[in-house]
A and B are shown apart, each in its own frame.
Chain A
Amino acid sequence: DTGVSQDPRHKITKRGQNVTFRCDPISEHNRLYWYRQTLGQGPEFLTYFQNEAQLEKSRLLSDRFSAERPKGSFSTLEIQRTEQGDSAMYLCASSLSGTNEKLFFGSGTQLSVL
């Protein structure tokens, strides 16, 4: 079990630039979640996939955000035209669906928008 891997760990970008983050889930997990976390707050749900299908997307997510999970394996989260308010920790988690579902989180990507 190699765990959930996220890349990069840190990203500094200028306002208006596009950024893309990658998440590699635990290999047999069919669900993948993206969360965003700012200082002092709990993780905020962004979206989740079951296999390659994006089943839910937060209404808080603007159309500058897009996520994909081609072939139901790794996932990417892209933010276009970044704003300073996008600065946060972006967390990915994966799980195996079922009544005993447990989320396994990666260490996150810390985004700083200057």
Chain B
Amino acid sequence: DAKTTQPPSMDCAEGRAANLPCNHSTISGNEYVYWYRQIHSQGPQYIIHGLKNNETNEMASLIITEDRKSSTLILPHATLRDTAVYYCIVRGATSGTYKYIFGTGTRLKVLA
């Protein structure tokens, strides 16, 4: 089972920041938080990942709380092309496996 909880859907106005929350209260010390997104009819696409520090790349920013029990993916200026399902994944070797377990994600709709 996925170790994360995400809202099933969110709307965001085009040009505004999209803030997608994720709860991972059972995360272990050596587990990373990953974000992927899936645009309709395509395979998931890597966005960003982090362990405990905030991270930023050309696509997004990842803010992880100090206790690491939740995180927020920020798309600073959402466009219509950011409409997708966003998956938050916790992954590491704690359970003896490195597989990625996807939940049902957050369906983000960017509105014109």
Contact = CB atoms under 8 A, between A and B. Distances in A.
Contacts of A106: 43
Given A105-B43, A107-B43, A43 B99 contact: no
Interface residues of B, number: 21
Q: Is the interface of A mostly helix, strand, loop or mixed?
A: loop
A48 B87 contact: no
Interface size class of A (residues with CB under 8 A): 20 to 34
Interface string A64-106: 0000000000000000000000000001010001011111111
Q: Is the interface of B mostly helix, strand, loop or mixed?
A: loop
A48 B99 contact: yes
Contacts of B87: 42
Given A93-B43, A102-B46, A103-B36, A42 B99 contact: no
B104 A33 contact: no
Interface string A45-58: 10010000000100
Contact of B42 (A45, A99, A103, A107): A107
Given A42-B2, A102-B49, A33 B100 contact: yes
A107 B39 CA distance: 11
Nearest to A97: B98
Contact of A108 (B43, B49, B101, B104): B43
Contacts of A40: 104
A67 B105 CA distance: 27
5 A-B pairs with least C-beta separation:
A105-B43, A42-B102, A102-B46, A43-B102, A45-B99
18 contacts: A33-B99, A33-B100, A42-B2, A42-B104, A42-B105, A43-B44, A43-B102, A45-B99, A45-B100, A56-B97, A91-B43, A91-B44, A103-B44, A103-B100, A105-B42, A105-B43, A106-B43, A107-B41
